[in-house]
């Protein structure tokens, strides 16, 4: 009877599922059929259908070119679903799922479509297989709930009830601890067991048999157990579940269950702040999830830790660091093979560009003794993952070669594994040379670390020094022979596994070839001969090292002389430029005086003009006619002198004196090197700082007593943006270094130790990084009007922005470029994916990981080049051609002709210097008359 009841329930469930599967518009569902007479609607539908077919074809062609275009997959699936192309739709979803883990929404749409089409038992099995794939991509409560409810439709089959229970139990293990969504799964499980209980009840008025009674008791115990298990877990609405249990149970709740329930309530109170933070946070909620993970890690429950990691990854699947931390936890704590390998596989499918995830996956497979063929296949997938830099390929090859080396039994002279290792080493070298160099224009392995490791394996493990020497010879021919450390690495290998003869030969070659630290290899050679060499060997080594060091010292001396000559040449050029400027200024002043004398001698210029010249003889020409000329005349006057007046006003006399005095007072050597320990060097200050000494003294007095501040000025007395700050005590100078990068007047101030670079050439000064920075983005194509705040608003949606630097030219104008620094590589990677191609103020920006190209240092100026650059300045003056385009018309003639010009234009204006009577109109001059007047000597 119980079986019959279960079957009836199964049939009812199946009928319910059939009702759900009836499509809209079906006659059985009461839907209306379409109006076939509407020809206009039919025509529009045909046009839209053709457009969709063309778009589908375009998307399929695009995917045939680039199968990893995620958005293209989504668009194709959406169109095929809209058109009802079920066969193509299934194929498109299948291809996408092979390349990417699918999100919860995509899986639910796919499953619902397949459920509608599945009617026979064989088709139901395919749906079960699809559910199994879905629950492996991400842990999603909704998918598990859909899976369990779908399985209820098959309870009429053999073992159907047990299969449903099995799926519910797996779902509880996966997401039953989910604080906010786990309750729905527990309730669905209980409802299912209650339905089974209803079917097992005896008919009214009948006495149950012993078998029926036993089944009833067993079913009641199952429901009791579900209630008790649920009440021991911290879930939202626990109080409602407890009240329901009290109402349902005929017996009082045991004390142990009440105790577990209260303990779970306390745990829920601790979790609530983190759940509320997640509820109120904006995507991607990475910081909130990390705080929740840290909280669960302290509690130490593996199941809860795993669940919170999975919840975080469902919303941050493109964050490599999060996957790495999760996989590390699984590798070190849980160590369950299926769970660990599944997590690693999902990590590399979500973030295939991150080489670290692939390396951890290979290690995990080796750790769990996965078949060698599968590991090799996974390595080949890694090579095709599309890493973003050449060094990533070196790392993945090194990890795979390490794995192959661990498989070899080196006690045997030859084996299949050893040959495979050697073949892999050779393939790695060829791959980096052919594939990687062609793509990145660099091998990623300039020091040949893979070949070095190959040589070590041959020498130490295979006792094959001949092969090791061949490899090292190849390494040296790749541009490494000039480095002392490379020779010493080879020498140490020969010392450990070779013989003295080859050690000596290597060091003799090193002495000859090394260019960076020849003294070091010379010392090593002499040490070898001192311990093991004969007198002849010693003499030969001494002679060789002395000759080499003599040549090195000679080359260094020549380089120093050349440097000094260039410096002297630059000084002479600077002095010549200074003299040329002085002569130019003197000639200009003399010219001014001559023009002023002319004006004084002119009868028409008496009165206000003459008085102004007498009172202010040193003023520039622009102010000479302020009382007479109207506005347009002023513009002409300014143009005659290159518009230099308003742009570069003359200094007052006292300012000139101050500048000249400062030039005389500033010594060439601004700093005593004996006081380096109590002095700091401050740079990157604003050139417009009004009083640097006062400003900086106020700033640095917080570090200790300031002895002196020595700002550096140019020849014209302008502050050059750097200075020396000398303290009374050394501890004050050390404390002042803490002010490095402090913003002063809108610029980051650089504070560094005071070091003589001539004595300490290796001392590092601040420079922007020119190497790959995975946590920093380079953005181009920005509108010039984009501010730092506006860019920060765009970037902070993808992570915590530490710093933003807008790139400008020397004049401070933006170049449309920016560097954005995030807290970690994960946030930067996600920002690249989300922001590249984004439109900002109608500008499409490009976003990439910051990897500036290597900068070539400019060649030092040669002697012949100086004259080339000096010619334009002598011909055109300090402001270029504009300074030489002077009008050949005397000022007096200009003033006479101006009223005429204005009269012709109908804009006659009386000068304040003229009388109230209208002046006599001068005779108009033709072009020929005008030319004669100008050419008259």
Who contacts 147 (Cβ-Cβ below 8 Å, separation ≥6)? 131, 134, 135, 167, 171
Instruction: With cut-offs at 50, 70 and 90, classify the pLDDT of residue 173.
Output: very high
Q: Would the pLDDT of 717 be above 60? A: yes
Instruction: With cut-offs at 50, 70 and 90, classify the pLDDT of residue 251.
Output: confident
In terms of Cβ atoms closer than 10 Å to its own Cβ (0-12, 13-18, 19+), residue 425 is buried
Q: Would the pLDDT of 221 be above 70? A: yes
Residue 257: other Cβ atoms inside 10 A: 19
What pLDDT does 738 receive?
85
What pLDDT does 528 receive?
94
**Considering only CA atoms, which of 307, 283, 440 is closest in space to residue 830?**
283
Domain boundaries, the chain: 676-753, 776-849
CA distance 530 to 507: 14
**Considering only CA atoms, which of 744, 626, 742, 759 is closest in space to residue 689?**
744
Instruction: With cut-offs at 50, 70 and 90, classify the pLDDT of residue 481.
Output: very high
What pLDDT does 534 receive?
94
Residue with tokens 């999060």: 322
Cis bond before residue 672 (omega within 30° of 0): no
Residue, of 132 and 832, whose pLDDT is higher: 132
What pLDDT does 205 receive?
73
The yes or no reply on domain 676-753 and CATH 3.30.70.330 is yes
614-661 tens-digit pLDDT: 334 343 444 444 443 333 333 333 332 333 344 444 444 444 444 444
Q: Would the pLDDT of 340 be above 90? A: yes
Instruction: Starting at the earlier edge strand, list the strands of the sheet with 846-850.
Output: 801-808, 814-822, 773-780, 846-850
776-849: CATH topology is Alpha-Beta Plaits (3.30.70)
CA distance 850 to 389: 11
Residue, of 779 and 637, whose pLDDT is higher: 779
CA distance 432 to 429: 5
CA distance 566 to 860: 8
Instruction: With cut-offs at 50, 70 and 90, classify the pLDDT of residue 603.
Output: very low
Residue 205: other Cβ atoms inside 10 A: 5
Q: What is the largest CA-CA distance in the chain?
A: 143
Q: Do domains 676-753 and 776-849 have the same CATH topology?
A: yes
Mean pLDDT score, 16-22 = 42
CA distance 165 to 189: 8
What pLDDT does 385 receive?
87
Please tell me the chain's helix, strand, coil percentages from 3-state DSSP, rounded to the nearest 5. Answer: 65, 5, 30
Helix, strand or coil, per DSSP, at residue 849: strand
Average per-residue pLDDT for the chain: 80
Q: Would the pLDDT of 240 be above 90? A: yes
Who contacts 351 (Cβ-Cβ below 8 Å, separation ≥6)? 318, 319, 320, 323, 357, 829
Instruction: With cut-offs at 50, 70 and 90, classify the pLDDT of residue 852.
Output: confident
CA angle centred on 68, ends 66 and 71, rounded to 5° = 100
Integer-rounded Cα radius of gyration of the chain: 43
Long-range contacts of 587-596 (CB under 8 A, 24+ apart): 592/621, 595/621, 595/891
183-203 tens-digit pLDDT: 999 999 999 999 998 888 887
What pLDDT does 810 receive?
54
38-90 tens-digit pLDDT: 545 555 667 788 888 899 999 999 888 888 788 899 999 999 998 888 889 99
Instruction: With cut-offs at 50, 70 and 90, classify the pLDDT of residue 225.
Output: very high
Q: Would the pLDDT of 721 be above 80? A: yes
Residue with tokens 């004996």: 674
CA distance 404 to 424: 8
Paired strand residues for 849: 777
Residue, of 105 and 20, whose pLDDT is higher: 105
Residue, of 107 and 771, whose pLDDT is higher: 107
Residue 516: other Cβ atoms inside 10 A: 11
Which of 272-286, 366-380, 787-801, 922-936 tops mean pLDDT? 366-380
663-711 tens-digit pLDDT: 445 444 456 778 888 999 998 888 888 888 888 888 898 899 999 999 9
Instruction: With cut-offs at 50, 70 and 90, classify the pLDDT of residue 935.
Output: low
CA distance 723 to 680: 9
Helix, strand or coil, per DSSP, at residue 159: coil
Tell me what percent of the residues of the chain surpass a pLDDT of 70. 76
What pLDDT does 509 receive?
94
Please tell me the least confidently modeled range out of 197-201, 530-534, 744-748, 791-795: 744-748
Q: Would the pLDDT of 540 be above 90? A: yes
What pLDDT does 294 receive?
95
Residue, of 611 and 439, whose pLDDT is higher: 439
What pLDDT does 860 receive?
45
> How does DSSP classify residue 435?
I
Alpha helices in 232-319 (DSSP H): 238-248, 255-280, 286-299, 302-315
Q: Would the pLDDT of 743 be above 90? A: no
CA distance 277 to 295: 13
Helix, strand or coil, per DSSP, at residue 821: strand
């Amino acid at each position: 009877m119980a079986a019959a009841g279960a079957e009836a329930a199964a049939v009812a469930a199946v009928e319910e599922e059939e009702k759900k599967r009836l499509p809209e518009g079906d006659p059985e569902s009461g839907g209306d059929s379409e109006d076939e007479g509407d020809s206009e609607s039919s025509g529009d539908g045909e046009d839209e259908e053709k457009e969709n077919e063309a778009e589908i074809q375009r998307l399929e062609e695009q995917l045939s070119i680039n199968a990893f275009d995620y958005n293209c997959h989504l668009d194709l699936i959406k169109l095929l679903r809209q058109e009802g192309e079920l066969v193509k739709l299934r194929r498109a979803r299948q291809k996408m799922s092979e390349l990417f883990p699918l999100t919860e929404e995509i899986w639910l749409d796919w499953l619902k479509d397949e459920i509608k089409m599945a009617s026979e038992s064989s088709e139901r099995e395919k749906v079960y297989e699809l559910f199994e794939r879905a629950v492996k991509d991400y842990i999603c409560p909704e998918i598990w709930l859909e899976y369990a409810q779908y399985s209820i439709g098959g309870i009429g089959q053999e073992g159907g009830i047990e299969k449903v229970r099995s799926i519910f139990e797996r779902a509880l293990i996966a997401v039953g601890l989910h604080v906010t969504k786990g309750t729905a799964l527990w309730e669905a499980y209980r409802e299912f067991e209650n339905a089974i209980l209803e079917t097992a009840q005896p008919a009214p008025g009948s006495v149950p048999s012993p078998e029926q009674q036993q089944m009833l008791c067993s079913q009641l115990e199952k429901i009791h157990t579900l209630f008790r298990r649920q009440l021991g877990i911290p879930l939202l609405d626990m109080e409602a579940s407890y009240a329901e249990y009290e109402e349902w149970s005929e017996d009082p709740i045991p004390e142990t269950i009440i105790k577990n329930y209260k303990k779970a309530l306390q745990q829920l109170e601790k979790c609530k702040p983190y759940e509320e933070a997640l509820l109120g946070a904006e995507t991607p909620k990475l910081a909130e999830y990390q705080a929740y993970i840290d909280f669960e890690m302290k509690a130490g429950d593996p199941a809860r830790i795993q669940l919170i990691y999975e919840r975080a990854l469902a919303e941050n699947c493109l964050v490599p660091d999060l996957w790495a931390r999760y996989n590390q936890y699984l590798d070190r704590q849980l160590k369950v093979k299926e769970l660990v390998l599944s997590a690693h596989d999902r990590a590399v499918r979500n973030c295939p560009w991150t080489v670290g995830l692939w390396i951890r996956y290979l290690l995990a497979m080796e750790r769990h003794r996965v078949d060698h063929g599968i590991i090799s296949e996974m390595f080949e997938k890694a090579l095709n993952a599309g890493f973003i830099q050449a060094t990533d390929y070196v790392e993945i090859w090194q990890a795979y070669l390490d794995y192959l080396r661990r498989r070899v039994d080196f006690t045997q002279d030859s084996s299949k594994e050893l040959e495979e290792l050697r073949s892999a080493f050779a393939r790695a070298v060829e791959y980096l040379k052919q594939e990687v160099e062609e793509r990145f224009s660099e091998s990623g392995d300039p020091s040949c670390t893979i070949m070095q490791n190959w040589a070590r394996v041959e020498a130490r493990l295979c006792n094959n020094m001949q092969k090791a020497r061949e490899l090292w010879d190849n390494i040296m021919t790749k541009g490494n022979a000039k480095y002392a450390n490379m020779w010493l690495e080879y020498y140490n290998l020969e010392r450990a596994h070779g013989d003295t003869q080859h050690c000596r030969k290597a060091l003799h070659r090193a002495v000859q070839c090394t260019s960076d630290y020849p003294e070091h290899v010379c010392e090593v050679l002499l040490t070898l001969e001192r311990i093991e060499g004969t007198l002849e060997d010693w003499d030969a080594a001494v002679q060789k090292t002395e000759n080499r060091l003599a040549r090195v010292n000679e080359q260094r001396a020549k380089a120093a002389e050349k440097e000094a000559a260039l410096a002297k040449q630059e000084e002479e050029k600077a002095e010549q430029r200074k003299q040329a400027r002085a002569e130019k200024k003197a000639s200009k002043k003399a010219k001014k005086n001559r023009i002023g004398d002319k004006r004084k001698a002119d009868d028409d210029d008496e009165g206000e003009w003459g008085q102004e010249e007498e009172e202010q003889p040193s003023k520039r020409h622009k102010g000479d006619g302020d009382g007479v000329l109207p506005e347009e005349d002023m513009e002409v006057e300014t143009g005659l002198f290159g518009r230099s007046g308003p742009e570069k006003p003359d200094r007052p006399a006292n300012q000139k004196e101050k500048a000249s005095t400062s030039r005389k007072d500033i010594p060439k050597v601004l700093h005593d090197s004996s006081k380096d320990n109590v002095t700091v060097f401050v740079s990157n200050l604003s050139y417009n700082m009004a009083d640097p000494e006062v400003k900086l003294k106020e700033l640095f007095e917080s570090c200790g007593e300031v002895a002196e501040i020595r700002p550096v000025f140019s020849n014209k007395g302008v502050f050059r943006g750097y200075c020396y700050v000398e303290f009374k005590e050394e501890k004050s100078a050390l404390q002042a270094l803490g002010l490095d990068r402090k913003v002063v007047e809108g610029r980051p101030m650089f504070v560094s130790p005071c070091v003589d670079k001539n004595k300490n050439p290796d001392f590092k000064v601040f420079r922007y990084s020119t190497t790959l920075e995975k946590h920093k983005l380079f953005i181009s194509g920005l509108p010039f009007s984009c501010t730092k705040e506006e860019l920060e608003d765009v970037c902070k949606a993808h992570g915590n922005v530490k710093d933003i630097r807008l790139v400008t030219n020397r004049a401070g104008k933006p170049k449309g470029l920016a560097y954005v620094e995030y807290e970690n590589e994960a946030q930067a990677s996600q920002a690249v994916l989300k922001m590249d191609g984004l439109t900002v103020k109608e500008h499409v920006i490009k976003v990439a990981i910051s990897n500036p190209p290597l900068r070539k240092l400019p060649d030092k100026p040669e002697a012949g080049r100086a004259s080339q650059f000096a010619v334009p300045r002598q011909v055109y003056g300090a402001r270029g051609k504009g300074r030489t385009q002077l009008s050949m018309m005397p000022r007096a003639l200009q003033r006479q002709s101006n009223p005429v010009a204005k009269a012709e234009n109908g804009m006659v204006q009386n000068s304040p210097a003229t009388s109230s009577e209208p002046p006599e109109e001068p005779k108009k001059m033709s072009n020929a008359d005008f030319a004669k007047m100008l050419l008259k000597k």
